[in-house]
Amino acid sequence: MGFRGGDTPNRRPSSATYLAAASLFVLVSALVTGCTFSGSPSGAASSPTASGSTASGSDPTVDGQFDIPDFYTPPSPLPAGKHGDIISSMEINAPAGARAWKILYLSELHDGTMVAASGIVVAPNGPAPDGGRKVVAWAHGTEGGGRNCAPSLPTNPAIDLNDYFTYDSPFQQDVGVPALTDMLNAGYVVVATDYQGLGTPGVQQYTVLDSEANNVWDSVKAAQQLKDTGAGDDMVVLGWSQGGGASVWMGQNTSYGAPLKLLGTAALAPAADNGPQFAGQVAPGPENSVSVAHAAALQLNVYRGLLAAYPELTASEVVTPAGEEALAGAGIECVNHLAYVLSSNLTTPFSTLIQPTTPADWQQRLNENTPGYVAPTAPVLVMQGTADTVVNPNGTTQYYQRACGFGQPVEYTIYEGATHQTIPADAKGEYLGWIADRFAGTAAPTTCAPAGSTQTPPAPVPTPSPIPVPGAATPTPTP
C-alpha cells in the first residue's frame, strides 16, 4: 500500500453527536449543487430531437431555475436498437486539437429495462492508429437527484475538471473531466456519462451498481459509433466517489461490455463499502462542520435510487414522515442544494428524517451493491485521502481488504491530507501513469500481500475532536 503526502487543508471536525450517523453512512459525492446552463449548447444537432431549445421548466423533476434542453429528452417510445446505440449527437466546443460531442444513447438498467442516457465524448483530431484509439471512460461522483444535475448540461462541459469549491469557478458543480487535456494529448478518447436520470428523464438508480456500470459501458460503445473519434475496444475506467464504486464494480464482471476490453479500473475515493457502512460495521472517519447535513442528503439519494430499482422496498421502512418529504426534495435538488436545505432547517437531520436502523430487506440490497466480494477481472487502483469527510477512508480500506482476497493485482495509495475534493488533483500523476501502463501492457502493480499471507490493513483514520463550543473547555483529542 502506498502512502503519499499532500496539502493538509484547514478543517474543523464536527460534533461528536454525529459519530453514530457517520458510522452508518459516509458515501459518495462529486459535491455538486446545480447547473448553470441557460440557453442552447453550441454546435449543430444531428437529429430533430437535438434542437437545443429549452423545455418548459414545468417538469416536476427539474429545479425551476434551470431548464433542460430538448436534446436530453429522448423520443417516446425509445428507438429500437442495442444498448450503446446512439440516439442523437451534438458537436460542442472542445480543447485545442480535439473535437467534442454531447451524446444521447441507449443503455440498460440492472433489470434489463432500456433507458436513454446522456454524456460527452472528446477525441483528438486526426486519423486514429491501427486498432483504434484507447478509451478512458470517466465515471463522475454524486451530483444529486434532479435532471438538472447532469454534468454535461453546461454549454461547454468538455474541459479539465473545474473545482466547484474554488473562488474562480463559474459553475455550480464540478464540470469537466480530471486531466482531460493530458489524456487527449496522450491520444486517448475520453467519454463521460451523466448516468440515466441525470439530464434524461427518469429516476437515477443511484448506487445501484449494475445500472451505473451499464451506463458507463454503453457510453464507450456510443463513442465508437461516432466515426470521427476512432475509438477502439481497449479501455480503462476512471471513477470518482459514486463513479469509483461503479468503476470497481465494472472490473468484477466485464460480460455486459463485450467486446470492449477493460484493461484496468482506477477509483478515486470510491463508494465501495455501502453494505458495511449502513450496517454500522465501519469505524467513523474524518468529519467537518457540514458532514451531518451532507451525509443525510447522500443517504436520501441512496434510498431514492434503491426505491427506483427494487419495487419491493418501501420508503417508510427507512425514513420518517418528515423524511418522505425530504426524499421528494432529493428528486429535484442537487446534492449540495439539498444539504443546505437540511442544515438550514434541521438541527438533527438524521434523527428527524432517517429511521434508526436499516431493515433486513434494505440491507440485503445494499450488500448486493457492495463491491469486493467477487474477484476483480482487471487490475485495480484505489486512491484515498486521509482527510476525506465524504467517503470514509476506513470503508475504502475494507473494500481493499476484500478485493485483495482473490490474488489479483490491487494497488492502494493513501494520500495524507487529501480531501474528497482534492483527490482528483492530488493523485493525478499516479493515475495518469497507471493508465498509460495498462494501455502499454505493463504488468500491474499490487500492494496486496503475497498469496497465502494475511493482508495487513493500514491503521484506521481517526475521527477528529468535536468542534469547540465557545466558552467551554478545550476537548481532549480523539486518540
- In this prediction, residue 316 carries a pLDDT of 97
Q: Where are the alpha helices (DSSP H) in 330-427?
A: 335-345, 349-353, 360-368, 393-403, 423-426
- In this prediction, residue 453 carries a pLDDT of 72
- The identity of residue 474, as a single letter, is T
- In this prediction, residue 165 carries a pLDDT of 80
Cell numbers placing 291: 458532514
Residue closest to 105 by CA, chosen among 90, 93, 127 = 90
Mean per-residue pLDDT of the chain: 85
Taking residue 460's Cβ as centre, other Cβ atoms within 10 Å add up to: 14
Cell numbers placing 55: 423545455
Domains of the chain (ranges, CATH numbers) = 1-456 (3.40.50.1820)
pLDDT tens digits along 212-262: 999 999 999 999 999 999 999 999 999 999 999 999 999 999 999 999 999
Predicted confidence band of residue 170 (pLDDT cuts 50, 70, 90): confident
- In this prediction, residue 173 carries a pLDDT of 73
Residue 13 has pLDDT above 50, yes or no: no
Q: What percent of the chain has pLDDT above 90?
A: 74
3-state secondary structure of 230: coil
Residue 202, exposed/middle/buried by CB under 10 A (0-12, 13-18, 19+)? middle
- Rounded to whole angstroms, the Cα distance separating 203 from 118 reads 14
Predicted confidence band of residue 64 (pLDDT cuts 50, 70, 90): very low
DSSP string of 297-347, one letter each residue: HHHHHHHHHHHHH-TT--GGGTB-HHHHHHHHHTTTSBHHHHHHHHHHH-S
Q: State the average pLDDT over residues 287-309.
A: 94
The answer to whether the CB of 335 falls within 8 A of the CB of 142 is yes
Any idea which residue has 414522515 for its cell? 321
Cell numbers placing 275: 453494505
Q: State the average pLDDT over residues 420-429.
A: 96
Q: State the average pLDDT over residues 267-282.
A: 95
Residue 471 has pLDDT above 60, yes or no: no
Poorest-pLDDT segment among 82-91, 285-294, 387-396: 285-294
Poorest-pLDDT segment among 12-16, 126-130, 153-157, 371-375: 12-16
Q: pTM to 2 decimals?
A: 0.85
Q: State the average pLDDT over residues 438-465.
A: 78
Cα 151 to Cα 37, 72, 173, 187, 345: the distances in Å are 10, 12, 7, 23, 27
Residue closest to 27 by CA, chosen among 109, 111, 144 = 144
Q: State the average pLDDT over residues 329-355.
A: 94
Residue 102 has pLDDT above 80, yes or no: yes
Predicted confidence band of residue 460 (pLDDT cuts 50, 70, 90): low
Residue closest to 119 by CA, chosen among 95, 134, 144, 139 = 139
Rg (CA), the chain: 21
Strands 410-415 vs 380-385: parallel, antiparallel or unpaired: parallel
Residue 133 has pLDDT above 50, yes or no: yes
Predicted confidence band of residue 26 (pLDDT cuts 50, 70, 90): very low
Taking residue 317's Cβ as centre, other Cβ atoms within 10 Å add up to: 14
- In this prediction, residue 77 carries a pLDDT of 97
Cα 339 to Cα 84, 293, 328, 336: the distances in Å are 34, 5, 14, 5
- In this prediction, residue 152 carries a pLDDT of 95
Cell numbers placing 273: 463499502
DSSP string of 411-427, one letter each residue: EEEEETT--TTTHHHHT
* Strand (E) or helix (H) holding 110: none
